[in-house]
Structure 1
Amino acid sequence: MNETLLLSRLQFGWVISFHILFPAFTIGLASWLVFLEAWWLKTRSELLRDLVFFWMKIFAVSFGVGVVSGIVMSFQFGTNWAGFSADAGNIVGPLLNYEVLTAFFVEASFLGIMLFGWRRVGHKTHFACTCMVALGTLASTFWIMSANSWMQTPAGYTLKDGVFYPLSWWAIVFNPSFLYRLPHMALAAFLSTAFMIGGISTYYLLRDRFADKARLCLKCAVAFVAIVAPLQIFVGDLSGQEVRHNQPAKLAAIEAHWNTSRDVPLVLFAVPDEKTQRNDYALDVPHLGSLILTHSWHGAVEGLKSFPADDRPPVAIPFYAFRIMVGLGVLMWLIAWYGIWKWRRGTLLAARGYLRAWIWMMPSGFIALLTGWYVAEVGRQPWVVYGLLRTADAVSPVPAGSVLASLILYVAVYAALFGFVGWYLLKMLRVGPVAAPQRLAHQTAARPLSLADEEPGARS
């Protein structure tokens, strides 16, 4: 692998790893705000109103950082991946434009009203704007996952002189892996947000702050994860079946499976050795691999040796990342169901050890999300468009030194940005869900606000 290719991949990997955390959080947080505000409209509870304002401010900061950090990715297609832009731009370009036109414009149009229109518009109007922002985040997920899934399982195209041209946009958008990967990503975002909400709530409970609000949020998080975590495991299994059919080399790398065979064991842990094409220190369960991967006790699974050496993905990263993702998913399931059991016994809020476990689990959703992306993207190698366009042919012919300089700059800027945003969010969390301003019962016309009327945090 030449230096420019390696550095370009590292740069894009760093940027996407930082960026994806914030859109994932806002996807779940926007839907959480819809839930809270709908509940508030029904009950007019002051407690719920305070929570809406609190999480709305968290959403505003996270959304802003997500937008800023994502802009860089668009430029990288031209600066670092000119070959990909030239060959696949006819398809990927419009998909990304559709995301801007249908998702980002919706979010931008209604976000201002959601954040600053609490006392300027009617109750139902504000709720409708919150719903539109949430819909915009999901629409953004739709188009981004469509574009990425097309790169994983291309369809609806024709090739002319190495350039992709669209034949059927329906086939392009709804490519073979899209309908599996879209819900998998959306549920991952919801789980990531749920564990942040639950962890922050237990932080307040352990310090005896905002007890009523924290109890409500924690119970909502426990109930939500108890339902969604097993659903995510089911969707993940469906996605795995799709990978087995459409990207068998990726599945072989995920399982560190070298020889095509039946009665495949499930490798719980091993040290894959790509040079000798074997697994050292393997801990496995006989037959269970065939049962999970093929839903048959004696099912056959294709091994890495079945593919040319130049077409095989790296093994170590998909193998270990997949096990981290699955392990965290099972742990999410267990901690939520254990919480339901304690809830039914009336001891949920008194179990301080259980509450501390939620704090430790706060980043689990984001870690699982990142490792899942590493499985998908590294497992696709050496292709940028699977089976058709190699990553080495997609990189820009620029000096390695230029890429290294920009990589160092991105690392420094993003690390500083992450540090500042983390500090600011912690500052907001220390303040907590304090009392929100009273909402006017009948106020629909826009009017100037005095300083006393300003939203909390609007001048900060």
Structure 2
Amino acid sequence: MLDAALLSRIQFAFTISYHIIFPTLTIGMAVYLATMEGLWLKTGREIYLRQARFWQKPFAITFGMGVVSGVVLSYEFGTNFSRFSEIVGPVLSPLLSYEVLTAFFLEAGFLGIMLFGWKKVSPKVHFAATLIVAVGTLLSAFWILAANSWLHTPAGYTIVDGQFHPESWLEIIFNPSFPYRYFHMVFASLLSSSLLIAGVHAYYLMRGKHREFAKVGLSFAMWALMVLAPVQILVGDMHGLNVLEHQPVKLAAMEGIWETHSGVGLRLFAVPDQENATNHYEVVLPNVASLVLTHEADGEIQGLDAVPADERPPVAVVFYGFRLMVGLGLLMLALGALGAYARWKGRLYDHPLLLRFSVAMIPAGVIATLAGWYVVEVGRQPWLVQGLVRTMDVVSPLPAEQVATSLALFVVVYTLLFGTYIYFMRKLVRKGPDSGGAGEKNSVTSSEDLLPVTLNPDYHGREGESAEGISTALNKSGQEG
């Protein structure tokens, strides 16, 4: 028998999983574009401009995919979870409206200037547009995470006739889990984009193509990984402590702890058995979980037995998702450390293991983000609003066959869209950046777009003419005059 409620939840999980891939990448790519363009303005070096012009194309495709896939989610609230908006609308609707008014309008309003304004506006105005788009992506994450975090740790509300009403917007926005979840998500986005950028430039170096261009991108990405990976681990640890305080059942599922007890070990591996409330084939480090979470080797941690069986999340999904996320995070840390070692040895651009490792890690950031999202969202089930509203209570009474049909259509259409996205991304990567430098026609920009810079050896004119060549031509012209 088909279950309409389960199918609706699977459909929403599928569509939001597809959508989250694209904002995860656009946040980091927007920051990278603003950084490269800012460096170009500061130094006048064309290599930074080429970075910005190349990466804005993958950014544009990814941004467009994010917009298209995100529109569907708001409709699903009304079609598949009809009572959701009725119950929490007074709290969540303004937050989502702020996201549109302050973030999406910024992104949409200045995206056109960023993509098509290279020869229409001055370099400083163009940089301002790029910077505003980057700020818009961060603002969008701010409001979305504020709304989503409120569902996990509701605050600043009152309930009137079964409906949530705001009492303190400050408490609603900055609810107890929001700061940790926001920074954890932002760093995940920056890491995901850094891995993509590192992998693409490593691919060029392995193929011996666009070497000078690739050196700049790989070097920047390795600096980012070296800093971001350990910071993300620290933020993740703080987020875990927050989960322990406010959502102990979710944390028990993450660690596979069925019984409340002291001196809890860290389970490196296990096979959770939800029906019998136990684990099989455990590999445990004694007392380590208590030491990490309570800072005491014999500290007590609440287990899943603290709540009835019908209030426990699907433990296997949460347990394995958490380990996948942490495992990929450790690989990111290892990649950053290997990059630092290769740089120290002077082999950053020709270290075979580093280059192959970088290419292999291209999808790791997105996969880790999805795994973390499953941990967060599946871990709060069966609750929609933690401890107050069950997910099953807001599901629309739809025929199961209709939901199954729409789910199948989403799978087919989104698979085709994702295939198209990968095709065009590969096409852009294989084509590479616009050519530039001495002896090559530079189609990157027109002469009026370039910054007024002094004649130095790093400057090249519209036709790739060096500063020395310009000086020679000027001297010859003066002698003939």
Q: TM-score, normalised by structure 2?
A: 0.91
How far apart in 1 are the matches of 2:277 and 2:388? 26
Which residue of the partner structure matches residue 424 of structure 2? 424
Report if the CA contact (8 A) 1:122-1:442 is conserved: yes
Report if the CA contact (8 A) 2:119-2:449 is conserved: no
State the Cα RMSD in Å: 1.5
The one-letter amino acid of 2:274's match is: E
How far apart in 1 are the matches of 2:337 and 2:213? 22
Report if the CA contact (8 A) 2:118-2:445 is conserved: no
Which residue of the partner structure matches residue 444 of structure 2? 437
Q: Offset of 1:161 from its aligned partner? A: 2.1
How far apart in 1 are the matches of 2:221 and 2:44? 21
Q: Offset of 1:219 from its aligned partner? A: 1.0
How far apart in 2 are the matches of 1:63 and 1:172? 28
The one-letter amino acid of 1:169's match is: W
Q: Offset of 1:333 from its aligned partner? A: 0.5
Which residue of the partner structure matches residue 438 of structure 2? none
Which residue of the partner structure matches residue 415 of structure 2? 415
The one-letter amino acid of 1:45's match is: R
Which residue of the partner structure matches residue 201 of structure 1? 201
Which residue of the partner structure matches residue 115 of structure 1? 115
Counterpart secondary structure, 2:284? strand
The one-letter amino acid of 1:438's match is: T
Which residue of the partner structure matches residue 387 of structure 2? 387
Q: Deviations over 1:382-426 (max 9, x none)?
A: 001110000000111111111111101111111000011110111
How far apart in 1 are the matches of 2:115 and 2:447? 16
Which residue of the partner structure matches residue 267 of structure 1? 267
Q: Deviations over 1:225-250 (max 9, x none)?
A: 11010000000011101100100110
Q: Offset of 1:2 from its aligned partner? A: 7.5
Q: Offset of 1:295 from its aligned partner? A: 2.1
How far apart in 2 are the matches of 1:386 and 1:314? 15
How far apart in 1 are the matches of 2:152 and 2:303? 19
Q: 1:192 to 1:443 in 2, by over 3 A?
A: closer
Identity across matched positions, percent: 50
The one-letter amino acid of 1:269's match is: F
Which residue of the partner structure matches residue 159 of structure 1? 159
The one-letter amino acid of 1:15's match is: T
Which residue of the partner structure matches residue 363 of structure 2? 363
- The aligned length equals 445
Report if the CA contact (8 A) 1:106-1:133 is conserved: yes
Q: Offset of 1:89 from its aligned partner? A: 1.2
How far apart in 2 are the matches of 1:294 and 1:285? 16
Q: Deviations over 1:93-132 (max 9, x none)?
A: 1111110000000111111111111111111111111000
Q: Deviations over 1:179-209 (max 9, x none)?
A: 1100000000000000000000111111111
Q: Offset of 1:58 from its aligned partner? A: 1.1
Where structure 1 has 5 or more consecutive residues not aligned to the other structure, the ranges are 445-452, 454-460
The one-letter amino acid of 1:166's match is: P
Between stretches 1-10 and 164-173, larger displacement belongs to 1-10
Q: Offset of 1:442 from its aligned partner? A: 6.2
- 1:195-344 equivalences under 5 Å are 195-344=195-344
Q: 1:64 to 1:365 in 2, by over 3 A?
A: same
How far apart in 2 are the matches of 1:81 and 1:38? 45
Report if the CA contact (8 A) 2:192-2:365 is conserved: yes
Q: 1:2 to 1:149 in 2, by over 3 A?
A: farther
The one-letter amino acid of 2:448's match is: A
How far apart in 2 are the matches of 1:263 and 1:112? 57
- 1:41-120 equivalences under 5 Å are 41-120=41-120
Runs of 4+ in 1 over 6 A off after TM superposition: none
Q: Offset of 1:443 from its aligned partner? A: 9.2
Report if the CA contact (8 A) 1:205-1:211 is conserved: yes
How far apart in 2 are the matches of 1:352 and 1:75? 48
Q: Offset of 1:307 from its aligned partner? A: 0.8
How far apart in 2 are the matches of 1:377 and 1:47? 42
How far apart in 2 are the matches of 1:133 and 1:203? 28
How far apart in 2 are the matches of 1:361 and 1:332? 8
Which residue of the partner structure matches residue 456 of structure 1? none
Q: Offset of 1:353 from its aligned partner? A: 2.3
Report if the CA contact (8 A) 2:2-2:401 is conserved: no
Q: Offset of 1:318 from its aligned partner? A: 0.4
How far apart in 2 are the matches of 1:341 and 1:353? 12
Which residue of the partner structure matches residue 459 of structure 2? none
Counterpart secondary structure, 1:7? helix
Q: TM-score, normalised by structure 1?
A: 0.95
- 1:135-174 equivalences under 5 Å are 135-174=135-174
Q: Please identify the structure whose Cα radius of gyration is greater.
A: 2
Report if the CA contact (8 A) 1:28-1:189 is conserved: yes
Which residue of the partner structure matches residue 400 of structure 2? 400
